[in-house]
């Protein structure tokens, strides 16, 4: 592991590059806007901690009104729990018996929920919980259009019944339309959520037919949460990226009546090589993820057109000219296309107060669950 890239109180200019930098003022405005949205729409907020992977940030979200957080992996939940987070929903399937023992053990220490989409998963969870003497909440995941995990809406009732028959508590539906998050155009995203809501209602009917109530529907992301909140179907939102806003989510355009979020996460980089036609910064795909496009450059007429593991190659964009290329050693602020896998590349956040030009380092937060894959 490398030495920390900054010390508390350092001016932002002296933060070593590449570094994962939070604009704290912007992040806190995003935090407050989403908390206020949830409050005013009378819907629970359970932000996804797979995005920020930080117990400190999860605590800030809970302090602002979130009911708890989501995690995607058992090891993530364990590390967040060690970091003081007492209410976690593993919004994902686990079928491995050894991992389910960890889930059951964790459920003795914190308020824990988990998703299921198979008989085998329910059976193994039930065995593990019986052995541990714990009782996590169990959500049945339904496929609401993403084509990934989850049973069909019609099968929800039978699986919920199986949950109950194995002595577990059926807590509701996990209904996340991941594919809808990144559709361009708010109307198209709204239509996708409308189709998802129809499937949720069908699943609820299936559950009622099985003689059960559906206590809660959880789901929604940064691209669609306003539609889930307006649907009357979802009772809990899982949006995560709103806190930092990545390039991808900014590009798709916000929904009407939804809060506007600002970019709050950046990769600070530095020009390390310069030619007549381009410059090279010291941050490549080991410093930012490119699954949702190359990073954008903040506040400069530059665009990245090539990359390596440790290099980003930039040329003038728009009305920019090669004459204006930055000098060797100049700072270049990159806006990641996708926050979640970008954060996962870094050991720590450098949290800056007072803006990226003249701010100072107020906090250094470890990316606690970086590398938590199990």
In the complex, which residues of this chain contact a second copy (CB under 8 A)?
1-3, 5, 14, 16-19, 50, 72-73, 75, 78-79, 92-96, 98-99, 117-118, 120-121, 143, 147-150, 178, 270-275, 278, 280, 283, 285-287, 289-291, 306, 308-311, 313, 328-329, 340-341, 344-347, 369-374
Q: Closer to a second copy by CB, 14 or 208: give it.
A: 14
**CA atoms in the 13 A half-sphere facing the CB of 18:** 27
Q: Closer to a second copy by CB, 278 or 353: give it.
A: 278
Neighbours of 317 (CB within 10 A): 14
**Least distance to a second copy from the beta carbon of 65, Å?**
25
Q: Closer to a second copy by CB, 64 or 105: give it.
A: 105
**Least distance to a second copy from the beta carbon of 179, Å?**
9
Q: Closer to a second copy by CB, 96 or 213: give it.
A: 96
**Least distance to a second copy from the beta carbon of 54, Å?**
13
How far apart are alpha carbons 234 and 220 in whole angstroms? 8
**319 burial type by CB count under 10 A (0-12 exposed, 13-18 middle, 19+ buried):** exposed
- Counted residue by residue, the chain has a size of 374
Q: Closer to a second copy by CB, 107 or 289: give it.
A: 289
Residue indicated by tokens 């949830």: 38
Q: Closer to a second copy by CB, 37 or 349: give it.
A: 349
Pick left, alpha or beta for residue 128 (phi over 0 → left; psi -120 to 50 → alpha; otherwise beta).
alpha
**Least distance to a second copy from the beta carbon of 318, Å?**
21
**Least distance to a second copy from the beta carbon of 253, Å?**
22
The DSSP element (H or E) to which 315 belongs, if any, is strand 312-316
How far apart are alpha carbons 66 and 21 in whole angstroms? 24
**Least distance to a second copy from the beta carbon of 310, Å?**
5
DSSP 8-state class, residue 211: T
DSSP 8-state class, residue 233: S
How far apart are alpha carbons 311 and 270 in whole angstroms? 10
**Least distance to a second copy from the beta carbon of 129, Å?**
18
Q: Closer to a second copy by CB, 9 or 40: give it.
A: 9
Q: Coil, strand, or helix at residue 44?
A: strand
Q: Closer to a second copy by CB, 99 or 353: give it.
A: 99
**Least distance to a second copy from the beta carbon of 359, Å?**
19
Neighbours of 247 (CB within 10 A): 20
**Least distance to a second copy from the beta carbon of 272, Å?**
5
Q: Which residues contact 76 (CB under 8 A, 6 or more apart)?
A: 49, 50, 53, 90, 369, 372
Our CA angle for 128, 131, 137, nearest 5°, is: 50
Q: Closer to a second copy by CB, 43 or 287: give it.
A: 287
Q: Coil, strand, or helix at residue 150?
A: coil
Structure tokens at 233: 């179907």
């Amino acid at each position: 592991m490398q030495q920390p890239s900054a010390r508390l109180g350092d001016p932002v200019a002296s933060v070593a590059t590449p570094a994962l930098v939070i604009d704290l003022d912007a992040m806190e405005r995003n935090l407050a806007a989403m908390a206020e949205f949830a409050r005013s729409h009378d819907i629970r907020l359970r932000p996804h901690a797979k995005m920020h992977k930080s117990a400190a940030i999860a605590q800030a979200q809970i302090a602002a009104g979130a009911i708890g957080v989501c995690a995607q992996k058992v090891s993530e939940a364990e590390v967040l729990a060690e970091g003081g987070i007492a209410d976690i929903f593993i919004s994902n399937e686990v079928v491995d018996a050894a991992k389910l023992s960890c889930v059951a053990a964790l459920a003795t220490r914190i308020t824990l929920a988990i998703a299921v989409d198979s008989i085998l998963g329910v059976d193994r969870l039930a065995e593990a919980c019986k052995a541990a003497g714990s009782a996590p909440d169990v959500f049945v995941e339904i496929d609401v259009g993403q084509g990934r995990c989850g049973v069909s809406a019609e099968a929800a009732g039978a699986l919920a019944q199986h949950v109950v028959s194995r002595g577990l508590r059926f807590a509701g539906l996990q209904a996340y339309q991941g594919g809808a998050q990144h559709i361009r155009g708010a109307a198209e995203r709204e239509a996708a959520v409308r189709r998802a809501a129809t499937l949720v209602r069908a699943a609820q009917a299936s559950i009622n037919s099985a003689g059960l109530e559906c206590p809660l529907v959880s789901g929604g992301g940064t691209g669609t949460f306003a539609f889930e909140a307006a649907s009357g179907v979802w009772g809990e939102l899982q949006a995560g990226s709103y806190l930092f806003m990545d390039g991808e989510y900014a590009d798709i355009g916000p929904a009407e009546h939804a809060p506007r979020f600002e970019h709050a996460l950046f990769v600070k980089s530095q020009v390390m090589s310069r030619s007549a036609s381009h410059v090279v910064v010291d941050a490549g795909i080991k410093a930012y993820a490119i699954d949702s496009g190359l990073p954008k450059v903040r506040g400069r007429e530059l665009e990245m057109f090539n990359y390596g593991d440790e290099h980003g190659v930039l040329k003038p964009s728009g009305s920019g000219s090669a004459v204006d290329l930055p000098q060797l050693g100049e700072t270049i602020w990159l806006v990641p296309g996708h926050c979640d896998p970008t954060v996962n590349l870094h050991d720590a956040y450098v949290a800056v107060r007072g803006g990226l030009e003249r701010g100072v380092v107020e906090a250094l937060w470890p990316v606690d669950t970086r590398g938590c894959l199990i």
